[in-house]
Amino acid sequence: MALDGKIQKKKIPLSSPDISQSEEEKVLEVLRTRHLSQGPKIEDFEKSISEYINIPYVIGVNSGTSALHLIVRSLGLKEGDEVITTPFSFIASSNCLLMEKVKPVFVDIDPKTYNLNPSLIEDKINPKTKAILVVHIFGHPADMNPIYEIAEKHGLKVIEDACEAIGAEYHGEKVGRKSDAATFAFYPNKQITTGEGGVIVTSNPKIAELCKSMRNQGRNVNGDWLVYERLGYNYRLDELSAALGVAQMERIEEILEKRKSVAENYLNELADIPEITLPFIAKEVKMSWFTFVIKVDMDKRQKIMEFLHQEGIDCREYFPCIHLEPFYKEMFGYKEGDFPIAEKISKETIALPFHNNLKSEEVDYISVKLKEAIRLLKDV
Ligand SMILES: *Cc1c(COP(=O)(O)O)cnc(C)c1O
């Protein structure tokens, strides 16, 4: 193990953004123009996403959470309405509903893909139900066809939180195109980054116009500077961030390929270890690798993570269930046992270090240490 000594004390971070020198320069160029907000870069960035996803309207905002909030508002969802969604996600996918006093109604997840289980949706539909908010967790698309069928049958809107899934495909088509509206996000741990940032994508011109107005204080989008037509926010994406986004989008294929090859390294290194469940990939999907999440025995997870931390390897529980966050329990009376599959999986998962430039030696090192942890725990 010649590598052990070299890497052992070095900390391998959970994630790390991949910013090239030319990307640094492009941000600097914008800084030098002194045109730092509401300039040409935001439009370039929106155009690049629009072409990549092949969708007519893209609205850039300052975070994925802002993007989700604007969709909730532009669909007119309000107090008394219910939206069906998943408890196994980053909390923003559900908090965006609380911002408008809309009730998130959770359904349990598919034990393999960890995405919302379509067969459980119809039981939760009642006259208050207005939409289904789907999350493509860890970059694996949810099973959308049955979801669209249910939505059509019951007259529900579909919102896609694709914040972890830019470039992922379902039956050969990129996610985010076919719902009423979808979001992508660009925090530094995402596939591409703008620092902070997000976008709404939609084919509906009305939703697009509302989102565009509301990101900018509710101003009339036709340019009358001081005409406010509705309640809005400052959710604008600045030009420095947008310039970084434009440059990152120029090499999105390369970035997604790099991530895929890191994932493949892990899949090879960790194959055939009965104590580890590797990420499942359904045959109808193309992953856009966001994180690399494995599953282990819940009684051993804590010890395994402590061991990895001691060896300089960052790793994390991903995700805690949203319905068990204290304020959700208090507001809605959710409790342990409500969504047993999501709860079990959230006690078993570990996100391992994962980013574009994770070297194969690092993947080897992490895998060796993981196997060591499992072996040590077997003996006790
Ligand atoms: C990253 C992410 C978001 C948006 O996060 P921001 O930090 O606000 O950009 C929303 N939903 C999911 C599932 C995410 O992973």
Can you give 261-310 as a three-state secondary structure string?
A: HHHHHHHHHCCCCCCCECCCCCCCEECCCCCEEEECCHHHHHHHHHHHHH
pLDDT per position as a tens digit, 95-125: 999 999 999 999 999 999 999 999 999 999 9
For 310-349, how does the pLDDT look when each residue is reduced to its tens digit (9 = 90+)? Answer: 999 999 999 999 999 999 999 999 999 999 999 999 999 9
d(CA 195, CA 185): 10
Number of domain units in the chain: 2
Given ligand 1 and candidates 65, 85, 109, which is best to mutate, with the most ligand atoms within 8 Å of its CB?
A: 65
In a domain, 210, yes or no: yes
Ligand 1 centroid to residue 85 C-alpha, Å:
15
Within its chain, how far is the Cα of 310 from the centroid? Answer: 28
| Residue 76 domain flag | yes
For residue 185, pLDDT over 50 is answered with yes
**Helix %, strand %, coil % of the chain (to 5):** 45, 15, 40
Domain hosting 373: range is 252-379
Instruction: Tell me the C-alpha distance between 163 and 334, whole Å.
Output: 25
Report the pLDDT value the prediction gives residue 222, as an integer from 0 to 100: 79
Last residue of a domain, one of 197, 220, 250: 250
Read off the CATH number of the domain in which 315 is found: 3.90.1150.10
pTM of the predicted model as reported, rounded to 2 decimal places: 0.96
Domain assignment of residue 3, yes or no:
no
**Is residue 167 a part of any domain in this protein?**
yes
Average pLDDT over residues 81-108: 98
Q: What is the CATH number of the domain that holds 163?
A: 3.40.640.10
Beta-strand runs (E) in 89-187? 103-106, 129-135, 157-161, 169-170, 173-174, 181-185
Sequence-ordered list of residues with C-beta below 8 angstroms from that of 320, at least 6 positions apart, any chain: 346
**Domain end marker among 213, 234, 250:** 250
Task: Please report the pLDDT score of residue 9 as a whole number.
Answer: 58
pLDDT, average across residues 348-376 = 97
Ligand 1 pocket residue status of 63, Cβ below 6 Å: yes
Question: Does one domain contain both 227 and 342?
Answer: no
Report yes or no: 103 and 73 within 8 Å, Cβ to Cβ. no
Domain end residue (candidates: 225, 250, 275): 250
What pLDDT sits at residue 258?
A: 98
Ligand 1 centroid to 161 CA: how many Å?
Answer: 8
- Residue 206 shares a structural domain with residue 72: yes
Model confidence over 278-289: pLDDT tens digits? 999 999 999 999
Residue 345 CA to residue 352 CA, distance in Å, equals: 16
Task: Strands of the chain (E only): list them.
Answer: 57-61, 82-85, 103-106, 129-135, 157-161, 169-170, 173-174, 181-185, 198-202, 285-286, 292-295, 349-352
Task: Check: CB of residue 248 under 8 Å from CB of residue 192.
Answer: yes
Q: 110 C-alpha to center of ligand 1: Å?
A: 21
Does ligand 1 lie within 6 Å of residue 64's CB atom? Answer: yes
Q: What is the mean pLDDT of residues 353-368?
A: 97
